[in-house]
Chain A
Amino acid sequence: MKSLREDCYNSFFSHIYVEQAVKNHPRTKQALARFQDARVIEIGHYKDVFCRRGQDFLQQHRSQKLILAGKPGTLLYPGAAVCPSFGNDHFYYTSCVMNCIYNCEYCYLKGMYPSANIVWFVNLEDFFSETDRMLKQHPMYLCISYDTDLLAMEAVTGYVREWMRFADSREQLKLEIRTKCADRSFFEQTEPVCGVVFAFTMSPQRVIEAYEHGTPSLAQRIDCAAEAVRRGFSVRLCFDPMIYVPDWEAEYDRMLEQIFRKLPAGRLSDVSVGTFRVPQDYLKNMRRQEPDSAVVQFPYQNCGGVYQYPADLAGRMEGYLTKRLAEEIPEDKLFLWKQEG
């Protein structure tokens, strides 16, 4: 867990907001027992805190608070057009935790959510029931770590292990857990489950240092992914989003060399490539929140409501990386994101 105790800011989770309806839920009690020094504030509905007017995402990220809530209504959503489905027909995602402890400047969450505080929905069993209901209709490819980094929150929520236990007895269910976390101990202490893929986002160290604040280094991510592979977990590498920096060819070359020195390419589940893209409404919010961020203020082009790099630059970046990856990875395991339509 990162330390946010810097300057004049309160510590991470110094305050925990608890919905009245879940105050006696076992997971609420578990959270409050873990953060005994936190001040507990009772609330009616999580949106009373999460959706307040005029919140400053960046400032809040310096002292994130935890909101414990129950999520009613729709719990599974069809996969978004800007996300790759990896050839799966029934692509869904779910958010049992909203927001992330990492602070990546380019992250769409800054444009999507009005608050940087973390919402933990404690009614996980309802998510399971909804998944079971859907599985009766068709098989599912379900991404459970899009709007958060669930593995980075594992010490707090334990949700990755719970989802793995759930998936273990459901052959029709494929789970993707996307992460920048480098917690090797998780893979040392957990048994792999068929159908659960851990998708590690890989970025050049220069991009990590410039834009992925609070995340593990490239070397740490590689070590963790290598440990997962060694222990038989299904591992995907995501070079997505690719971020433009001056001399990007050399930066991505260095990254690939570092990766394939330690990771056996043949044992990877698959690999995805895609340059940065974000829905136009999100970018508008991100630019207001982060006026000093070069990656957010880049003059992206609006293509069908999605902001992305100019077509020639995006083509060169994706082409370069896929060509280099094709030297190590069979073509059928290489997925390049393409906009539909």
Chain B
Amino acid sequence: MIYIFTAACYEASAWIAHFQLKKDVGQTRFQTFYSENAKLCLTVTGAGMISAAAAVSSICTANGAGKGDFLIHAGICAAVGAGRGAAGELFYCHKITELTTGRQFYPDVLYRHGFCEAELVTGAKPWDTSETARAPVFLEEEKPFFLFDTEAAAVYQAGSYFFAPHQMAFFKIVSDCRETAAVTPEQGKRLTGLHMEDLADYVKMLDKAGRKEGQGEPVPEVLLKQLCRDLYCSAAMEASLRQHIRYCILAGIDYEGRILKMYRENGLPCRNKREGKRCFEELKRRLL
């Protein structure tokens, strides 16, 4: 599953239209849209760090997000500094700084993409150039160019309870007026729509990558439980047998044939713990 989080409805509308997402009427706290075919789940978090963290935590817990899944955070941002960040430009964020704490977060950039990359700073309130006197001057002194939003650092921190750093991607589009506070819903909708094809291609690539992540072939529980009963196994012996069978599966060893042979030749089930222990050692030898 790919989980997409946007702060505002207007940032979500292009995604909803492109993937023909349906509203999940069962979700009452956060507006959620999904597509079972595309394995997408989009949530509108609301603006700000608390809302973003609450939404990520709530949706990911409810859906059991984890290995093989991805998180995408997408939205509009401000661009600070000269030379880059034209209105409407899309960036992939490789570093996120939380302004209040100075903590820095680094999503892994494992997957190929054709987007420009930049650093993103997350603050408690929107960037406002008219308040530069009160804005953190050090940022502009240290960084010639950076993006600014009010959610990404919170999304990363909440997301890291469910996702590895390579499973999270952050996309930001520079607003027309370079200040997030002044973006109108119409502008936001139009800006997100500009890049929908590219973002959709990236989502398809993630979907392909997610399917490749191995989960490990499960050990046949019914067989294991039966065997453990018949051998009078303790918890430690059961764990050992499980590991032997796991290895046999991976090494292509016909463990079922060897176990059946053991049943035939050693007269399993055993009559007591002592006999069980002897057969257990014999079975381990035969499995390797």
Contacts and interface: CB of A to CB of B under 8 A. Distances in A.
Interface of A: 7-10, 14-15, 17, 39, 41, 43-44, 48-49, 52-56, 59-60, 62-63, 65, 246, 291-294, 297-299, 310, 313
B103 to A, nearest CB: 9
Contact of A55 (B108, B208, B251): B108
B19 interface: no
Interface string B159-176: 010011111000000000
B216 A291 contact: yes
A9 B108 contact: no
A9 B111 contact: yes
A41 B106 contact: yes
B110 interface: yes
30 contacts: A8-B111, A8-B112, A10-B110, A15-B94, A17-B106, A41-B95, A41-B119, A43-B95, A43-B106, A44-B104, A48-B104, A52-B165, A54-B165, A56-B164, A56-B166, A59-B108, A59-B164, A60-B110, A63-B109, A63-B111, A65-B108, A65-B109, A291-B216, A293-B250, A297-B243, A297-B246, A297-B247, A299-B244, A299-B284, A299-B288
B205 interface: yes
B110 A59 contact: yes
Contacts of A52: 105-106, 160, 165
B160 A291 contact: no
A246 B163 CA distance: 38
Contacts of B119: 41
Contacts of B108: 55, 59-60, 65
B136 interface: no
B181 to A, nearest CB: 28
Given A10-B111, A39-B109, A56-B164, 7 more contacts: A14-B109, A15-B94, A48-B106, A53-B160, A63-B111, A297-B246, A299-B244
Nearest to B250: A294
B284 A292 contact: no
Contacts of A298: 247
Contacts of B110: 9-10, 59-60, 62-63
Contacts of A41: 94-95, 106, 119
Contacts of B166: 55-56, 59-60
Given A10-B112, A41-B95, A56-B166, A49 B160 contact: no
Contacts of A313: 288
A53 B163 CA distance: 10
A131 to B, nearest CB: 33
Contact of A299 (B209, B214, B247): B247
B164 A49 contact: no
Given A9-B111, A60-B166, A292 B250 contact: yes
- The 9 closest A-B CB pairs, nearest first, are A291-B216, A294-B250, A299-B243, A294-B251, A56-B164, A63-B110, A292-B214, A299-B244, A54-B164
Contacts of B251: 246, 294
B164 A55 contact: yes
B209 A8 contact: yes
Interface string B232-264: 000000001001101100110000000000000
A76 to B, nearest CB: 30
A54 B284 contact: no
Nearest to B103: A48
Contacts of A246: 251
A14 B109 CA distance: 9
A49 B117 CA distance: 17
Contacts of B214: 291-292
Contact of A43 (B104, B163, B213, B215): B104
A9 B112 contact: yes
Interface centre among A8, A49, A313 (most CB of B within 10 A): A8
Interface in B147-165: 160, 163-165
A49 B112 contact: no
B176 to A, nearest CB: 27
Contacts of B213: 59
Interface string B261-288: 0000000000000000000000010001
B36 interface: no
Contact of B94 (A8, A39, A292, A293): A39
Contacts of B217: 292
B286 to A, nearest CB: 13
A282 B142 CA distance: 40
A60 B164 CA distance: 10
A7 B117 CA distance: 21
Contacts of A63: 109-111
Interface in B96-121: 104-106, 108-112, 117, 119
Contact of B109 (A8, A15, A53): A15
B215 A291 contact: yes
Interface in B108-147: 108-112, 117, 119
A8 B208 contact: yes
